[in-house]
């Protein structure tokens, strides 16, 4: 007897990934080819239920408009290069599922705020990295000793700055901060988070220098504790708490 093979079993249909159509309304800016004003462009894309905003942007670029410009590298929430405003909130496009941002309505995609737009969703990150460089984001020792083994730390000492080691420099926090929008000179949350990472590291010996740098009129005291930064951080870092801890260390000189 010959067995019959069913090509579409009910089980296969249950496991099928539903696809649907979404509209992306994207803020474009292309001074070379489209004049100095930003403008809105809309695209309809067929997507799968597991697709992310980054997948939809790729589909648009590959199938509809090759001139659409955005940054991305890892596509897995690690490199921090695809922060953008999605439905008015800073997010990583590669970590935002389309089904979670109300795909029944057009999904609004804009560049992050407070940094100069170069083209479409690509902003000039240099002011952001200039602040980052200023806080000296590297381990500094001053005692002149060159240990022959690792610089040991106990779990409690490591825990002190564990949260702020998770930063991927995506700028979602800094570009969601109203102080940074109005005063581009403010160091911004990300620079303070990265200063925190070294200020509270028991192996580092330049905490006082970093606190002095952040005691500037554009430093930590500009923070108005709006919590936008904590809400925006795709790594779940308690950004506002880190800023408060740096403020406290500045007053108490305890770190």
Q: Name the residues that contact ligand SF4, by CB under 6 A.
A: 80, 167-173, 189-190, 193, 232-233, 235, 237, 239
Report which of 217, 219, 246 is spatially closest to residue 134, judged by C-alpha positions: 219
Could you tell me whether strands 19-28 and 107-110 are parallel, antiparallel, or unpaired per DSSP bridges? parallel
Judged by CB under 6 A, the number of residues near ligand FES is 12
Nearer to ligand FES, 110 or 245 (CB): 110
- 94 contributes a contact to ligand FES by CB under 6 A: yes
Burial class from Cβ neighbours inside 10 Å (0-12, 13-18, 19+) for residue 190 reads: buried
What is the rounded CA–CA span in Å between residue 255 and residue 185? 26
Nearer to ligand FES, 52 or 210 (CB): 52
In the complex, the smallest distance separating the C-beta of residue 167 from ligand FES, rounded to whole angstroms, is 12
- 80 contributes a contact to ligand FES by CB under 6 A: yes
Nearer to ligand FES, 75 or 136 (CB): 75
Within 8 A by CB and 6+ apart from 195, the residues are 135, 137, 210, 213, 214, 246
In the complex, the smallest distance separating the C-beta of residue 50 from ligand FES, rounded to whole angstroms, is 16
Nearer to ligand FES, 76 or 151 (CB): 76
Span of 8-16, 34-42, 60-68, 79-87 interacting with ligand FES by CB under 6 A? 79-87
What is the rounded CA–CA span in Å between residue 10 and residue 242? 52
Q: Which of 9, 50, 73, 215 binds ligand FES (CB under 6 A)?
A: 73
Query: Could you say which of ligand FES, ligand SF4, none residue 73 binds, taking C-beta under 5 to 8 angstroms by partner kind?
Result: ligand FES
What is the rounded CA–CA span in Å between residue 142 and residue 129? 25
On whether the CB atoms of residues 172 and 234 are closer than 8 A, the answer is yes
User: Which spans of this chain sit near ligand FES (rule: CB under 6 A)?
Assistant: 72-75, 77-82, 92, 94
């Amino acid at each position: 007897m010959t067995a019959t093979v069913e090509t579409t079993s009910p089980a296969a249909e249950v496991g099928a990934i539903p696809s649907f159509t979404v509209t992306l309304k994207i803020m474009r800016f292309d001074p070379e080819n489209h004049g100095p004003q930003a403008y809105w462009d809309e695209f309809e894309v067929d997507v799968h239920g597991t697709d992310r905003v980054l997948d939809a942007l790729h589909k648009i670029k590959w199938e509809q408009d090759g001139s659409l410009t955005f940054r991305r590298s890892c596509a897995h929430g690690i490199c921090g290069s695809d922060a953008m405003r999605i439905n008015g909130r800073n997010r990583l496009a590669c970590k935002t599922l389309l089904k979670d941002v109300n795909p029944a309505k057009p999904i609004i995609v804009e560049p992050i705020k407070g940094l100069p737009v170069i083209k479409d969703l690509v902003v000039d990150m240099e002011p952001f990295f200039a602040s980052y460089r200023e806080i000296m984001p590297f381990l500094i020792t001053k005692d002149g000793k060159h240990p022959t083994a690792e610089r040991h730390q106990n779990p409690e000492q490591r825990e002190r700055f564990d949260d702020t080691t998770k930063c991927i420099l995506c700028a979602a926090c800094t570009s969601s901060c109203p102080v940074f929008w109005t005063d581009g000179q403010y160091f911004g949350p990300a620079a303070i988070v990265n200063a925190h990472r070294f200020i509270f590291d028991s192996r580092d010996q330049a905490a006082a220098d970093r606190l002095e740098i952040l005691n500037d009129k554009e430093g930590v005291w500009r923070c108005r504790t709006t919590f936008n930064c904590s809400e925006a951080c795709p790594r779940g870092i308690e950004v506002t708490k880190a800023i408060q801890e740096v403020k406290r260390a500045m007053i108490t000189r305890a770190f």
